[in-house]
Amino acid sequence: MKLAHILIVFFAISLKSNGQEAKGYSDSGIIPLELIKEKIIIPVELNGKMYKFLIDTGGILEISENLQNEFNFKETESTTIVGINRKEIEIKTVNVPEIKLGNWTFKNRKAIVSNLHSKYPYSCFELDGMIGRDFFEKVILQFDNASNTFRITENSNAIKVIKNHRTKLKVSKRGLPNVKLKINDKNEYIEFDSGSGDFYSPKTSDVERKMKNDGLNKILSFYGEFSFGITMDNINHTYRYMQKVERFQIANTTFSNFYSQFSKVSAPRIGAGILKYGKVTLDFKNGWFYYEPYSESQRFKPLKTFGFDIKIEKGMYIVKYILKGSQAEKKGLEPENRILMINDYSTTNISEDCFGYLNGYEFKKKEKIKIKYLNSQGIEKSINLNKKTFE
């Protein structure tokens, strides 16, 4: 359902839930939610007008340059941001006098101003900003992808939860929610980052340590480029890993035998990918994380890949990363190779392809493909690839 349609449906009814809102508590009421490519997006009101914001429990309040140009909020002391390559940059910071999430009005909020929203592929989400952890102190958040709804409240009785579907939540010194999980029968506290689209990502150094001890069994190694970060740093090629997870228990729900998303350099994490399988409630007031599954049977689709992925740069497909040992690597494909054609489809002179980025490129839906590309010496090559399944 499109955001505009959701807005019409939900704002046509009362935003109070079942008439249960207690006096003295701030409460957003029911807010429409969209989950687009595992990004949690809600409507936010500024000066009586609705805008699209990302919900990021790992971030802070951020507005786009376009929004700042529209409102000309008063500047405050700048903020230093550290990029993924440890590069520090100064970012403009402003004061937002008033911002509304449903029925709840927040006053005088400090926000950074970012041009990330205009950069492809992030621009595909058409976002105006981001709501971050500075809104979540001593509140309860609930994300329900099945009903496309979000709520933030101070009232512990406003949201129904099931106690046997809860696990401990604690807040780190940086203000990030950490959730107690059991991974392969080992208890761990893992950061919940709703700005990440992952279901579960291990830490890169932990996987590399496991590889030294246990070898390459049940670990897939990739080499190339993986992310850009808020500072839009130039990315160095590096290794990331997908690890086979035998058992993953969150509260009272267990997932079995699946491959993780790409490992993270900083720390392991769970993200918005878990919203596809269950309702999530974060109780910052009382220190609980609730996960209520939509189905009793929790199964993932097998991992299928041609052994590489692409980015769009300067009007053409570029190889982003390669699966080590894959058919693609064995036949000579490397990161930064320029792809000229996939099957009968020309992959040059391409504008920013938001439909492909958000919905999955057509070639990924095939079982066999033929690629014509330029190798690192600029020599044209053609190879045939079969999709491989990892279970």
Q: Coil, helix or strand for 379?
A: coil
263: confidence class by pLDDT, cuts 50, 70, 90: very high
Residues 116, 167 within the same domain: no
Q: Which among 293, 313, 343 is the end of a domain?
A: 293
Neighbours of 72 (CB within 10 A): 8
Q: What is the pLDDT of residues 363-380, one digit of tens each?
A: 999 999 999 999 999 999
**In a shared domain, residues 11 and 86:** yes
pLDDT of residue 23: 61
Angle at 125 (CA atoms; ends 43, 71), nearest 5 degrees: 55
With pLDDT > 70 as the criterion, what percentage of the chain qualifies?
Answer: 89
User: DSSP letters along 72-133, please?
Assistant: -PEEEEEEEEE-TTS-EEEEEEEEEEEEEETTEEEEEEEEEEESGGGSTTGGGG---EEE-G
- What pLDDT, on the 0 to 100 scale, is given for residue 282? 98
Amino acid letter, residue 386: N
CATH number, domain of 386, equals 2.30.42.10
Mean pLDDT, rounded, for 91-96: 94
**pLDDT of 274-321, one tens digit each?**
999 999 999 999 999 999 999 987 788 899 999 999 999 889 999 999
User: pLDDT tens-digit profile of 311-347?
Assistant: 998 899 999 999 999 999 999 999 999 999 999 999 9
* Structure tokens that stand for 5 in this block: 């349609």
At residue 11, the 3 state secondary structure works out as: helix
Give residue 391's pLDDT band: very low, low, confident or very high (50, 70, 90).
confident
What is the Cα–Cα distance from 353 to 342, expressed in whole angstroms? 15
Average pLDDT, the chain: 89
- Residue 81 pLDDT more than 70? no
CB 267 within 8 A of CB 255: no
Asked whether residue 298 is assigned to any structural domain, the reply reads no
Q: Is residue 140 part of a domain?
A: yes
Q: Which region holds residue 174: left if phi is over 0, alpha if psi is between -120 and 50, else beta?
A: alpha
Position 226 scores a pLDDT of 85
Residue 275 has which token pair? 């919203």
Helix (H) / strand (E) element for 35: namely strand 34-36
Give the range of the structural domain holding residue 73, as residue numbers without chain letter.
3-153
pLDDT confidence of residue 21: 43
- What is the rounded distance in angstroms from the CA atom of residue 74 to the CA atom of residue 79? 14
Query: Residue 36: which pLDDT band, with cuts at 50, 70 and 90?
Result: very high
Instruction: Give buried/exposed letters for 85-114 (b at 16+ CB in 10 A, else e).
Output: eeeeeeebbbebeebbbbbbebeebebbbb
Question: Whose CA is closest to 59, among 226, 269, 237?
Answer: 269
Looking at the structure, tell me whether residues 11 and 144 fall in a common domain. Answer: yes
347: left (phi over 0), alpha (psi -120 to 50) or beta: alpha
Tally of domains in the chain: 3
355, 246: one domain: no
pTM: 0.89
Helix (H) or strand (E) holding 45: strand 39-46
Among 126, 153, 180, which residue terminates a domain? 153
Give the least confident one: 60-69, 73-82, 284-293, 311-320. Answer: 73-82
91 lies in the same domain as 141: yes
Residue 388 zone, left/alpha/beta (φ > 0; ψ -120 to 50; rest): beta
Task: Say if residues 342 and 371 touch (Cβ distance below 8 Å).
Answer: yes
By DSSP bridging, strand 338-342 and strand 368-374 are antiparallel
pLDDT band (50, 70, 90) for residue 15: very low
Please name which of 109, 112, 6 lies closest in space to residue 50, comparing C-alpha atoms. 6
Q: Three-state DSSP class for 189?
A: strand
Q: Is residue 280 part of a domain?
A: yes
pLDDT of 12: 37
Residues 177 and 253: beta-carbon distance below 8 Å? no
Please report, for the domain that includes residue 286, its CATH number. 2.40.70.10
